[in-house]
Amino acid sequence: MQYSNRVLHTPSSFIRNILKVTDSPNVISFAGGLPNPISFPLEKLQESINRAIDKNGSKVFQYASTNGYLPLRQYIADKYNRNHNLGITADDILLTTGSQQALSLLAQVLINPGDGIIMEEPGYLGAIQAFTMSEPSFYPVTLEKEGLNLDELEVALSQPHVKFIYTVPNFQNPTGLTYSAERREAIYDMIKDKDIILVEDDPYGELRFEGEDLPYIAAGKSTNSVVLGSFSKTVTPGMRLGFIISKNKELMEHIETAKQASDLHTNIFAQYAIYEYLTHNEYKDHVNKIIDLYKSQSDIMIAALEEFFPENVEFTRPQGGMFLWATLNNGMTSLEFFEKAMAVDVAFVPGDPFYTSKQNVNTLRLNYTNSSPEVIREGVKRLAKILKEVPVAVK
Amino acid sequence: MQYSNRVLHTPSSFIRNILKVTDSPNVISFAGGLPNPISFPLEKLQESINRAIDKNGSKVFQYASTNGYLPLRQYIADKYNRNHNLGITADDILLTTGSQQALSLLAQVLINPGDGIIMEEPGYLGAIQAFTMSEPSFYPVTLEKEGLNLDELEVALSQPHVKFIYTVPNFQNPTGLTYSAERREAIYDMIKDKDIILVEDDPYGELRFEGEDLPYIAAGKSTNSVVLGSFSKTVTPGMRLGFIISKNKELMEHIETAKQASDLHTNIFAQYAIYEYLTHNEYKDHVNKIIDLYKSQSDIMIAALEEFFPENVEFTRPQGGMFLWATLNNGMTSLEFFEKAMAVDVAFVPGDPFYTSKQNVNTLRLNYTNSSPEVIREGVKRLAKILKEVPVAVK
């Protein structure tokens, strides 16, 4: 059987394959991107689920509309208008089967084979995977401390058939970096007159433990803006509930068609349940608890990295979210490091799958949200021991 | 903005657009494909949901594996081995976001633009929509009373780059027809030595109210077999839980990659909840209740059609499932009929969207599962009145 080019070119998820190897109680894993289970409001969710059934009966189990449960879309619109001044209505929102589906749908409706996508480098590997299924040309732009490199962005914008730019402006996956206010404005100035969609994928935006919220790059200003949101990092990822926000009516109509073709509609039970949760609980208090937890875990990991790691290893200091990003600078690739780390039962994600055009890189992603303070310190210690045994070399 | 060819060529669902028009309490609708809400075991589901949470805690809300919850896959494997002698294991099953997603994934991994799909004509419009996103060449084969027309199938099989045949062998959507045992065998003989996948989409198979269960066409015999199943017609469609069964390891690996790219994994909460439901209840007794209901509704619709419709209208007599199929034979197209029917507040689905190569057909789909006996009779009466007012003409 000859399989499709698109699937033959699409990597199966490096992380998910790593997780299969590292899914042992002996392994200290900084590899996953799992929210800490404390971020699931278990009892309140159970109450909400029962209330949703009691109030709505068989409707929570029946087929439903493709764009999603109206009261939930209205809730999301109100929240983004209040917090981000987006000026949107419920009709500017479509609920998706996790925001991973939103990535897949965007590429499906915008990309013919060879059309361009401008990607942060390094960039979110789930997005690389979803987009690859539509056979794009990737134009990677270096993600610096302040955001996309503007010179490289200008070159990328001049490439043929560029359809959209994919960004994670807050606490980026994999780097933990956040775009500065100035860089956001500069990027907007460069794209505002172009027929190119600016995607701002923002699953972590609410999980800020340092600094002030910043305005989106294009959302609220341009109809060529798309914002992706999710309940995965603050309520539950297992229920797969994300959403697309855009005031671009034509885009949203095509996305609705692609969504119908993909899975008819998003699980309606999950939509009712999460709506009940959001409207009957102090969501902000709950999010604040997650923030406090993740801040303490991030602080502990950074302190351990400072204490134990050799000085030639650089790492980012996230203002929120779930990850930080290390650069080895000792001549070792992160895949070599990964093998040695697995020998001492510590896992992380080597940088390679976050690049569309580079291999054998010396960068890696560390997740801190799913380990206890003691385990974080112990894991960092073991990694440091490996690094200190390696003579510094230039490859 | 130039959108992708695939989405520009994909029709938005005719049925979902009709449902928007007909979603009024005044309209008698034979248009939908909704299970009767009685088919949702509401109280038992609520119990199962609470048990799933109480037993498994935060695991029901966390990220999960792409192929699905192992105990549920094992349950499905055991059931298909018991009932259909398929000789499968849990690893031959992948859980999908409804079986609509299975259709989308199959086309994504098998179809390059222009590759062939052999379709029943008329065929399921959700499949036509899902497949169109991969830009195939459709080779329609007439669906007769006994199954696919064998002469046309032979011609279609000789077309270039045919990747798979899509069938709904039991109580087909839209016609309600069921393939005979002889036709199943004849089809298997024609394809068994070919490098072509035979897809048997079987969401209604358990809902047989007449005759005996028949063996699948290729499942259990060939690794080029795919069976699609669903909990939508017997437990709940709103939770979007379907599955793909295939012993073709290479195909299943590619499908897993495409599934990761599409939505990471299927809602794990729904998987735990439905597993709890299936393992703590008399599922067969529940299905028998649905069968009794649908049989009575089908009987009432057929009796009303026989009593009120003019003789030149032909219609199928399903042995199970949710639909029957009428052919007008009076010179009128079903779209013309639809307009007149909407004027008297009765809705059905005109045949056009079930064809990949025909327009202005004289066929239509009637659903009987979601209306009371009185409403079915009244709706058929109103339709009959229109048909009797039209002079018989040859176009």
Question: Rounded to two decimals, what is the model's pTM?
Answer: 0.96
Question: Is pLDDT at B230 greater than 70 in this prediction?
Answer: yes
Judged by DSSP in three states, B350 sits in strand
Note whether A91 and A219 are same-domain residues.
yes
Give the mean pLDDT of B282-295.
96
Min CA distance, A140 vs chain B (Å)?
20
Chain-chain contact of B1 with A108 (C-beta, under 8 angstroms): no
First-to-last alpha carbon distance for chain B, in angstroms, is 42
Distances (CA, A) of A288 to A196, A201, A205, A296, B234: 36, 21, 13, 12, 41
Residue of A nearest to B251 (CA): A3
Chain-chain contact of B269 with A239 (C-beta, under 8 angstroms): yes
Residue A204: pLDDT band with limits 50, 70, 90: very high
Name the residue among B59, B64, B238 with its Cβ closest to that of A267: B238
Please, which residues 320-379 of chain A have a Cβ atom closer than 8 Å to chain B?
Answer: none
Name the residue among A6, A161, A240 with its Cβ closest to that of B263: A240
Note whether B31 and B103 are same-domain residues.
no
**ipTM exceeding the 0.90 mark:** yes
Lowest mean pLDDT among A348-362, B26-40, B300-314: B26-40
Q: Tens of pLDDT along A165-178?
A: 999 999 999 999 99
In a domain, B155, yes or no: yes
Q: What is the CATH number of the domain that holds B73?
A: 3.40.640.10
Give the mean pLDDT of B256-281.
97
- For residue B19, the model assigns a pLDDT of 67
Residue A206, token pair as written in the block: 């609410």
Percent of chain A clearing pLDDT 90 (strictly above) = 92
Q: Tens of pLDDT along A84-112?
A: 999 999 999 999 999 999 999 999 999 99
Residue of A nearest to B126 (CA): A261
Note whether B18 and B80 are same-domain residues.
no
Cα separation, A72 vs B98, in Å, equals 22
Note whether B320 and B251 are same-domain residues.
no
Q: B266 in contact with A at a CB cutoff of 8 Å?
A: yes
Please, which residues 107-126 of chain A have a Cβ atom closer than 8 Å to chain B?
Answer: 108-112, 115, 126
Min CA distance, A261 vs chain B (Å)?
4
CB pairs under 8 A between A and B: 243
Please, which residues 9-48 of chain B have a Cβ atom closer than 8 Å to chain A?
Answer: 10-13, 16, 32-35, 37, 40, 42, 45-46
Residues from chain A that touch B268, judged by Cβ atoms under 8 A, are 238-239
Note whether A231 and A304 are same-domain residues.
no
Interaxial angle between packed helices A42-56 and B42-56, expressed in degrees from 0 to 180 and rounded to the nearest 10: 180
Q: Tens of pLDDT along B67-106?
A: 999 999 999 999 999 999 999 999 999 999 999 999 999 9
Note whether A314 and A275 are same-domain residues.
no
Task: Mark which of B246, B280, B314 sits at the end of a domain.
Answer: B280
Question: Is pLDDT at A22 greater than 90 in this prediction?
Answer: no
- For residue B23, the model assigns a pLDDT of 66
First-to-last alpha carbon distance for chain A, in angstroms, is 42
Distances (CA, A) of A217 to A148, B13, B115, B379: 12, 34, 41, 54
Residue A69, token pair as written in the block: 């449960």
DSSP string, A96-111: EEHHHHHHHHHHHHH-
Q: What is the CATH number of the domain that holds A317?
A: 3.90.1150.10
Residue B390: pLDDT band with limits 50, 70, 90: confident
Note whether A73 and A194 are same-domain residues.
yes
- For residue A25, the model assigns a pLDDT of 81
Q: For residue B171, what are the domain limits? A: 42-280
Q: A70 in contact with B at a CB cutoff of 8 Å?
A: no
Give the mean pLDDT of B12-30.
76
Residue of B nearest to A38 (CA): B58
Q: Tens of pLDDT along B320-379?
A: 999 999 999 999 999 999 999 999 999 999 999 999 999 999 999 999 999 999 999 999
How many domains is chain B built from? 2
Name the residue among B58, B130, B265 with its Cβ closest to that of A261: B130
In a domain, A394, yes or no: no
Chain-chain contact of B264 with A66 (C-beta, under 8 angstroms): no
Q: Chain A interface, mutation test: which of B38, B45, B63, most A Cβ atoms within 10 Å?
A: B63
Residue B74, token pair as written in the block: 């094992």
In a domain, B174, yes or no: yes
Q: B263 in contact with A at a CB cutoff of 8 Å?
A: yes
Residue of A nearest to B223 (CA): A1
Note whether B253 and B336 are same-domain residues.
no
Residues from chain A that touch B266, judged by Cβ atoms under 8 A, are 240
Residue of A nearest to B239 (CA): A267
In a domain, A395, yes or no: no
Note whether A239 and A336 are same-domain residues.
no
Residues from chain B that touch A58, judged by Cβ atoms under 8 A, are 37, 40, 42
Note whether A257 and A322 are same-domain residues.
no
Residue B32: pLDDT band with limits 50, 70, 90: confident
Give the mean pLDDT of A296-316.
97
Question: Is pLDDT at A24 greater than 80 in this prediction?
Answer: no
Residue B191: pLDDT band with limits 50, 70, 90: very high
Lowest mean pLDDT among A212-221, B26-35, B233-242: B26-35
Task: Mark which of B280, B314, B349 sits at the end of a domain.
Answer: B280
- For residue B373, the model assigns a pLDDT of 96
In a domain, B394, yes or no: no
Give the mean pLDDT of B307-311.
97
Higher pLDDT residue, B62 or A17? B62
Min CA distance, A153 vs chain B (Å)?
20
Task: Mark which of B280, B298, B328 sits at the end of a domain.
Answer: B280
Min CA distance, B240 vs chain A (Å)?
6
Closest CA to B180 of B170, B188, B190, B191: B170
Note whether B250 and B298 are same-domain residues.
no
Residues from chain B that touch A267, judged by Cβ atoms under 8 A, are 97, 238-240, 267, 270
Question: Is pLDDT at A13 greater than 80 in this prediction?
Answer: no
Chain-chain contact of B49 with A45 (C-beta, under 8 angstroms): no
Residue of B nearest to A3 (CA): B110
Residue A88, token pair as written in the block: 């949107």
Q: Tens of pLDDT along A61-72?
A: 999 999 999 999
Note whether B113 and B14 are same-domain residues.
no
Question: Is pLDDT at B391 greater than 80 in this prediction?
Answer: no
Cα separation, A100 vs A168, in Å, equals 13
Residue B326, token pair as written in the block: 């009428």
Residue of B nearest to A224 (CA): B1
Contact B361, B333 (CB under 8 A): yes
Contact B196, B224 (CB under 8 A): yes
Residue B115, token pair as written in the block: 């590759």
Give the mean pLDDT of A314-327.
98
Percent of chain B clearing pLDDT 70 (strictly above) = 96
- For residue B68, the model assigns a pLDDT of 97
Greatest alpha-carbon pair distance for chain B in Å reads 66
- For residue B395, the model assigns a pLDDT of 45
In a domain, A307, yes or no: yes
- For residue A391, the model assigns a pLDDT of 64
